[in-house]
């Protein structure tokens, strides 16, 4: 099936609407096929930073291939890996550590407690063998993965009440995904994994006592400062969390080589641009939050020391029982 560019845009206009967005890689040359892809995002559309990486990718791939490519929330935020793996969507934008329930090793694709900064994560992924290790792991889920943005070091979350010592974490219901959540559980908290869009209502109705999301710019948009006034640092579980683009393996194999190149180069651009956005936008947002009466606190020293100890105990235990984890933790 072939469209010239004008007909193609008209035919896919409806697909650009939210909720039913249909990413498309298309070409108007006589030798390249029209390819339609849908991208499932794990992130709220209101966040230009984190959701924006999918739009960066869409626009660049469209410009490079002459087609249209848009992103949308096609499936619930925490089901993107399954959706891409089984072909419900051809590609997705998500975070590996949302899926530690499948395999704890997937957290290395995002961030692990007391792990890498953004710069170190990029070094590991692009030049240190990380991408190859993680692609072996993702192949088990039918997915090819590309680094897809980094938030930089995150904040340590919002708390309704001040945390004065380790004892204050006991029984605290906190939204914190990935291995950070598992360490928090060892410190006595009750971790929950909720997608970004669901956190504010849970905090508001008291289903959560605390929540972490990203950092000042995104957190301000989601409005946590209206409910919880105590804002902690550092986000010791996310020194440089990377987001990822997922592509269904069969869909990737079916792509012409020039489209693969366009897609890959656009993911690298989106990866870099997201970090730049956060680094530029977070400092003024933090000042605005403090101006609204938010109180900044470092985590108490006993919390930091206990967290570090619990983290490395967890890694040692997991490496003994999970060969995928061991292969990355001790390559």
Instruction: Give the residues lining the site for Ca ion (CB under 5 A).
Output: 154, 212
DSSP 71-124: EE--S-GGGHHHHHHTTSSSEEEE-GGGGTTT-GGGGGGT--TT---HHHHHII
* Residue 82 or 238 having the CB closest to Ca ion: 238
Which of 40/179 has CB closer to Ca ion?
179
In angstroms, the CA 151 to CA 279 distance is: 8
Nearest approach, Cβ of residue 185 and Ca ion (Å) = 16
C-beta of 281: minimal distance to Ca ion in Å? 16
Give the nearer residue to Ca ion in terms of CB position, either 61 or 314. Answer: 314
Q: Cβ of residue 19: shortest distance to Ca ion, in angstroms?
A: 25
d(CA 178, CA 130): 18
Of 280, 269, 294, 160, the C-alpha closest to 217 is: 280
Q: Measured from the CB of residue 28, what is the shortest distance to Ca ion in angstroms?
A: 41
DSSP letter at 31 equals S
Residue ranges in the chain assigned as alpha helix (H): 5-12, 52-65, 80-85, 118-122, 130-139, 178-186, 196-204, 216-222, 249-254, 257-291, 301-321, 323-329
Angle among Cα 237, 239, 244 to the nearest 5 degrees reads 95
Q: How far is the CB of 212 from Ca ion (least distance, A)?
A: 5
- What whole-number distance in Å separates Cα of residue 104 and Cα of residue 97? 8
C-alpha 309: how far from chain center: 26
Q: Least distance to Ca ion from the beta carbon of 291, Å?
A: 23
Place of tokens 């919002």: 158
- Closest CB to Ca ion among residues 212, 220: 212
Q: How far is the CB of 154 from Ca ion (least distance, A)?
A: 5
């Amino acid at each position: 099936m072939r469209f010239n560019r004008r007909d193609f845009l008209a035919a896919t206009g409806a697909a650009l609407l939210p909720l039913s967005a249909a990413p498309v890689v298309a070409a108007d040359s006589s030798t390249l096929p029209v390819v339609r892809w849908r991208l499932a995002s794990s992130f709220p559309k209101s966040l230009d930073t984190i959701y924006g990486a999918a739009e960066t990718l869409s626009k660049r791939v469209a410009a490079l291939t002459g087609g249209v490519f848009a992103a949308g929330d096609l499936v619930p935020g925490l089901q993107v890996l399954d959706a891409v793996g089984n072909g419900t969507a051809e590609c997705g934008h998500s975070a590996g550590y949302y899926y530690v329930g499948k395999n704890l090793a997937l957290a290395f694709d995002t961030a692990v407690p007391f792990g890498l900064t953004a710069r170190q994560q990029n070094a590991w992924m692009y030049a240190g063998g990380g991408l190859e290790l993680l692609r072996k792991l993702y192949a088990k889920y039918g997915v090819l993965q590309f680094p897809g943005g980094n938030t930089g070091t995150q904040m340590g979350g919002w708390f309704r009440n001040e945390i004065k010592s380790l004892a204050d974490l006991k029984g605290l219901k906190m939204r914190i995904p990935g291995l950070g959540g598992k360490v928090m559980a060892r410190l006595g908290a009750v971790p929950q994994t909720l997608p970004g869009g669901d956190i504010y209502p849970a905090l508001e109705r008291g289903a959560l006592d605390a929540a972490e999301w990203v950092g000042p710019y995104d957190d301000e948009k989601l409005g946590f400062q209206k409910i919880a006034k105590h804002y902690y640092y550092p986000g010791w579980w996310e020194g440089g969390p990377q987001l990822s683009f997922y592509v269904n393996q069969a869909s990737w194999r079916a792509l012409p080589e020039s489209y693969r190149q366009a897609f890959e180069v656009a993911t690298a651009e989106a990866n870099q641009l997201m970090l730049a956005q956060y680094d530029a936008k977070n400092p003024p947002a933090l000042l605005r939050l403090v101006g609204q009466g938010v109180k900044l606190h470092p985590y108490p020293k006993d919390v930091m020391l206990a967290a570090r100890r619990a983290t490395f105990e967890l890694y040692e235990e997991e490496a003994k029982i999970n060969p995928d984890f061991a292969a990355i933790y001790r390559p």
